Chains A and B, each alone.
Chain A
Amino acid sequence: MEPKKTALYDVHVKLGARMVEFAGFWMPIQYTSILEEHKKVRTSVGVFDVSHMGEIEIKGPKAEDFVNYLTTNNVRKLHEYQAQYTTMCYDHGGIVDDLIVYRYPDRFLLVVNAANTQKDYEWILQHKIDGVEIANISDSITQLAVQGKNAEPTLQPLTDVNLADIKFYWFTEGKLAGVPMMISRTGYTGEPGFELYFDRKYSVDVWNAIFESGKPYEIAPIGLGARDSLRLEKKYCLYGNDIDETTNPLEAGLGWIVKFDKGDFIGRDALLKVKEAGIRRKLMGFVVEGRMIPRHHYEIVKEENVIGHVTSGAYSPILEKNIGLGYIAIDHAKVGESIEIRARGRTAPAEIVKTPFV
Chain B
Amino acid sequence: MNIPADLKYSKDHEWARIEGDVAVVGITDYAQNELGDIVYVELPEVGTQVEQGKTFGTIEAVKAVSDLFAPVSGEVVEVNEKLNDSPELVNQDPYGEGWMIKIKMSNPDEVNNLLSKEDYEALL
Is A295 a contact of B42 with CB atoms below 8 Å?
A: no
A315 with B39, Cβ < 8 A, contacts A292-B60, A293-B60, A344-B58 known: yes
**Interface residue? B46 (CB, 8 A):** no
Q: Which of B36, B60, B63 has the most CB of A within 10 A?
A: B63
SS class, residues of chain A in contact with chain B: mixed
Q: Which of A30-38, A235-243, A255-263 contacts B (4 or more CB under 8 A)?
A: A30-38
Is B65 a contact of A291 with CB atoms below 8 Å?
A: no
Q: CA of A293 to CA of B65 in the docked complex: distance in angstroms?
A: 8
Q: CA of A154 to CA of B63 in the docked complex: distance in angstroms?
A: 30
Measured CB to CB, the nearest residue on chain A to B63 is A225
Measured CB to CB, the nearest residue on chain A to B41 is A291
Residues 20-52 of chain B: 1 if any A CB is under 8 Å from the residue's CB, otherwise 0? 000000000000000011011010000000000
A34 with B65, Cβ < 8 A, contacts A293-B39, A344-B58 known: no
Q: Which residues of B contact A33 (CB under 8 A)?
A: 36-37
Q: CA of A138 to CA of B67 in the docked complex: distance in angstroms?
A: 40
A225 with B36, Cβ < 8 A, contacts A291-B60, A344-B58 known: yes
**Interface residue? A89 (CB, 8 A):** no
Is B63 a contact of A34 with CB atoms below 8 Å?
A: yes
* Option from A29, A291, A314, A315 in Cβ contact (under 8 Å) with B42: A291
**Interface residue? A229 (CB, 8 A):** yes
Q: Which residues of B contact A344 (CB under 8 A)?
A: 58, 65
Residues 197-210 of chain A: 1 if any B CB is under 8 Å from the residue's CB, otherwise 0? 00000000000000
Measured CB to CB, the nearest residue on chain B to A291 is B40
Q: Which residues of B contact A18 (CB under 8 A)?
A: 36
A30 with B36, Cβ < 8 A, contacts A291-B42, A293-B65, A295-B65 known: yes
A225 with B60, Cβ < 8 A, contacts A33-B37, A35-B37, A291-B42 known: no
Q: Which residues of B contact A35 (CB under 8 A)?
A: 37, 62
Within 8 A of A (CB), among B71-105: none
A336 to chain B, nearest CB (A): 26
Q: Which of B39, B42, B60, B62 has the most CB of A within 10 A?
A: B62
Q: CA of A29 to CA of B34 in the docked complex: distance in angstroms?
A: 12
Measured CB to CB, the nearest residue on chain A to B60 is A293
Residues 215-259 of chain A: 1 if any B CB is under 8 Å from the residue's CB, otherwise 0? 000000000010001000000000000000000000000000000
Interface residues, chain A, with chain B CB atoms under 8 Å away: 18, 29-30, 33-35, 225, 229, 291-293, 295, 314-315, 344
In order of increasing CB-CB distance, the 10 nearest A-B pairs are A291-B40, A34-B62, A35-B37, A315-B39, A293-B60, A33-B37, A34-B37, A315-B62, A34-B36, A30-B36
Known A225-B63, A229-B62; 6 more pairs at CB < 8 Å: A34-B63, A35-B37, A291-B60, A292-B40, A315-B62, A344-B65
Q: Could you list some 11 contacts between A and B, CB below 8 A? A: A29-B63, A30-B36, A34-B63, A225-B62, A225-B63, A291-B40, A291-B42, A291-B60, A293-B40, A295-B65, A344-B65
